[in-house]
Structure 1
Amino acid sequence: MREIDPTLRAIAAAAVGGTLVVWWPAFTLGAYNAVFFDNVLTLWAVATAVLLSGAILRRRGSVPWGGWVALLLPSIWIVLAAATPKSHGFPYLHYAEALLTLVGAPMLTWLLSRILVPDYAALPVFQRLGAVAATIIVGVLAFLLGKFNYLFLTCADFDVSGNNSPAHCAHGQPFHRR
């Protein structure tokens, strides 16, 4: 096998990192019309780890100012969720958490790629944006897979995996028994 192109390695590493964060929230938004709290908390954990790493370094320019804002968004969501009354609910908080997850994941992809993938900064802008675009495309596709889950999954598939069945799933045996 010949050597893998370093450009492909950098773009793929960035795209894979982003899609690992965005695919499940996008799928659940499609299947259940909700982003689950554990998805938002995963985004929070990753963002906070990078935020704290930058704070520990305490060097000017270690994280661009827009990066600090992006990294603080999940913590802001948690503060808003904690400050809102639980008895009356806050209907727009759900939309904020969905937006945070689906928009924050590509931003985190870009930021983490700059930090964790050594060859990423050397790539032309078009190729760097390609990794973010791949993350967004996978997110949209995951949403559509969730929305149309009944075409390839059954309610039993969700049950076997430990998830609740979405309202529009197909009845039948789980996939592994077919």
Structure 2
Amino acid sequence: MNENTVVLDESNSTGSHVVLLIAIGLSGYIWDLSFNLGAFNSVFLGHYIAIWLFSLSVLFVSITAPGALVPGNKVIGYFLLTLPSLWLILRIIDDASIAGKTTDMVMHSVGVLAIGISLPYLVYLFFHFTCPEVLRLRGRLLVGLMTIVVVSGSLGFALGRNNHLIMTCENFVVSGQDTPANCVKTN
């Protein structure tokens, strides 16, 4: 870290504003992902596509733009940025009509692993480009932000898993989603 970089901690009011801004955005995204994972036992394709599009956009812009856009080691950065495309290639060559075979499970696992390996770097790049202040958070502010995100995700997953306690199948149909197996059917 540069000697002139201001660390954002509980003694700095700017840090609280950064935490609030990021917590609002991340909580909504994490809630949606976690609720659907709890309700449907699956991460929706749209979340994978969003990761792929982000990595592809950063990759193309960093290759074509003058100057260094991607922080750190370019080779490692470019490698991590291409991993979500590996997931998409594996999805394209996988025969979707033959689910459950060993090759299907291996390709799915390798693709999800590729996304999982690249995800921390992509999250870092997202904040590097959109709100670099979050990368300077320290102490209670960082712990607070991570706690908010983990609690939002845990609540989303728990309510998705137990959606029958708060929703009916009609709520899912009206929102344009499929109905989970455990939703409450109404007359």
- Give TM-score, length-normalised by structure 1: 0.72
CA drift of 1:157 comes to 0.6
Distance in 1, matches of 2:154 and 2:72, equals: 28
- Give TM-score, length-normalised by structure 2: 0.69
Distance in 2, matches of 1:109 and 1:163, equals: 27
1:79 to 1:97, Cα distance in 2 relative to 1, 3 A: closer
Contact 1:14 1:110 in 2 (8 A): no
Map of 2:51 onto structure 1: 43
1:25 aligns with 2:33: yes
1:109 to 1:36, Cα distance in 2 relative to 1, 3 A: same
Gaps of 5+ in 1: 174-178
Letter in structure 2 aligned against 1:62: V
1:121 to 1:91, Cα distance in 2 relative to 1, 3 A: closer
CA drift of 1:51 comes to 3.0
1:150 aligns with 2:164: yes
1:116 to 120, 130, 140: 130
1:9 aligns with 2:17: yes
Contact 2:87 2:115 in 1 (8 A): no
2:152 to 134, 138, 142: 138
Contact 1:27 1:147 in 2 (8 A): yes
CA deviations over 1:65-101 (Å, ceiling 9, x no partner)? 4654543332221011112233423135555666677
Contact 2:35 2:156 in 1 (8 A): yes
**Could you say what secondary structure the match of 1:150 adopts?**
helix
Seq. identity, % = 26
1:83 aligns with 2:93: yes
1:136 to 1:64, Cα distance in 2 relative to 1, 3 A: farther
Contact 2:59 2:81 in 1 (8 A): yes
Q: Which moved more, 1:96-105 or 1:84-93?
A: 96-105
CA drift of 1:104 comes to 6.2
CA drift of 1:114 comes to 2.2
Gaps of 5+ in 2: 1-11
Distance in 1, matches of 2:25 and 2:78, equals: 19
CA drift of 1:113 comes to 1.4
CA deviations over 1:107-163 (Å, ceiling 9, x no partner)? 543331122114234333774565455434423332222111111111111111111
1:74 aligns with 2:74: no
**Could you say what secondary structure the match of 1:119 adopts?**
helix
Cα RMSD for the two superposed structures = 3.4
Distance in 1, matches of 2:83 and 2:27, equals: 19
Distance in 2, matches of 1:26 and 1:104, equals: 19
CA deviations over 1:31-67 (Å, ceiling 9, x no partner)? 1112221221122222322333333335347333465
Distance in 2, matches of 1:47 and 1:17, equals: 19
